[in-house]
Amino acid sequence: MRKKILITTGGSGGHVFPALTIYDHLKAEYDILISSDQRGLKFFESEMYRPIIIDTPKLKISILFPFVIFKVFFLIIKSLSILKNEKISILISTGGYMSLPLFFAAKILGIKIYLIEPNMVLGKANKFFLKFSKIIICYAKHIVGFPKNLEDKLRILKPLVRKKYHKELINRQQTDLFTITIIGGSQGAKIFDNLLHQTLANISKSVKIKIIQQTTESNQNFLINFYKENNIEHHVFVFEKDLNKLLIKSDLCITRGGASSLAELSLFKVPFISIPLPSSMDNHQYENAKFYEDQNSCWIINQNEFEKDKFEDFLLKIIKNKDEFLQKKKNLENLNFQNTWINVNQNLLSILNEN
């Protein structure tokens, strides 16, 4: 009889996408269930996952705090019932407070708990859960805020990237125009709407480029008309389920610093300019990008120091003088040496099968 695993996730794409990837890696060897809060449901790519809803409220001190505590207690009881009835052997959490009820229930029942930390900063929930867990899987050895006395629990795995991204590598084709893609991650990036379009229009006067840009619904028509007026080939979208098909066509990407987005770009060997979200928890977006900057495979620009004129010159230099660009592309290739679906799968199974 196969062991049963429950993966708990929710919130943003940064939590959900690694959970879906783990599901796909493990489904051939284990019976897998997955849970999510309501916020995370929009990131589920297929009905086959059929998530259990554990809608954990945020633990925020307010007049409603007694109600929040009562709901969390109720969800722990619900989680105990799910884990017992489904005979779950292993709980895997991708971090976040949404995993709290299932975590406590698993601890009460003596179920093995594994953590996933996609960021280069140990999240608050994972930091709390760590000492009660068997293993935590990270993408690098040096994680900001990781307790030295618990380093024996740390296991290193290549970044978890969805299977369709690995498959897309086979279909890569060279494009004629230098293609710049602008994405804001699952949280969006309104600042890119205001900062970049005029700069790109100025650049297009001296270099032929194509723009692929994620934007807000309210700004979509403006950008489409703007790029048309400036004779720039473009694809402007609000949400794209198959973002992999756009990223694979990219030469350069301007992005935030979400762990999943950077891992996908890295796998595709697309050098990127990261403008991390300044308000990200524990500055984790900067630390995520810093990991790649330390490998000389990206550029980082501080949003608070962004200047349009300097950025225009900076972009032109990248496009026209390709030595640095090509070096970063080569470094991404080296970084992803042997980063295949099969290798990640084998390493993940090996970690779970440790005594």
What pLDDT, on a 0 to 100 scale, did the predictor assign at position 37?
A: 95
- As given in the structure block, the two tokens for residue 222 are 């403006």
Per-residue model confidence (pLDDT) at position 95: 87
The arrangement of strands across the sheet holding 252-255 comes to 233-237, 209-214, 178-182, 252-255, 272-274, 298-300
Average pLDDT in the 260-271 region? 96
Domains of the chain (ranges; CATH) run 4-158+339-352 (3.40.50.2000), 165-335 (3.40.50.2000)
Residue 31's SS3 state is strand
Rounded Cα distance between 139 and 51, Å, is: 26
Q: Secondary structure of the chain: what % helix, strand, coil (to 5)?
A: 50, 15, 35
Give residue 203's pLDDT band: very low, low, confident or very high (50, 70, 90). very high
* pLDDT exceeds 70 at position 282: yes
Cβ-contact 77, 92 below 8 angstroms: no
Strands (E), 150-197: 154-156, 178-182
Q: Considering only 114-128, 180-194, 200-214, 338-352, which range has the smallest mean pLDDT?
A: 180-194
Give CA–CA dist 14/119, Å, rounded: 9
pLDDT on residue 115: 98
Question: In the predicted model, is pLDDT for residue 245 greater than 70?
Answer: yes
**Is the sign of the CA dihedral 308, 309, 312, 317 positive or negative?**
negative
Quote the pTM value. 0.93
Reported as a single tens digit per residue, the pLDDT across 35-71 is: 999 999 999 988 889 999 999 988 766 666 778 888 9
**Is 174's pLDDT higher than 60?**
yes
* 8-state DSSP, 144: B
Residue 310 has pLDDT above 80, yes or no: yes
- DSSP string across 257-308: --HHHHHHHHHTT--EEE---TTSGGGHHHHHHHHHHHTT-EEE--GGG--H
The mean pLDDT of 140-163, rounded to a whole number, is 96
Mean pLDDT over residues 182-198, rounded?
Answer: 76
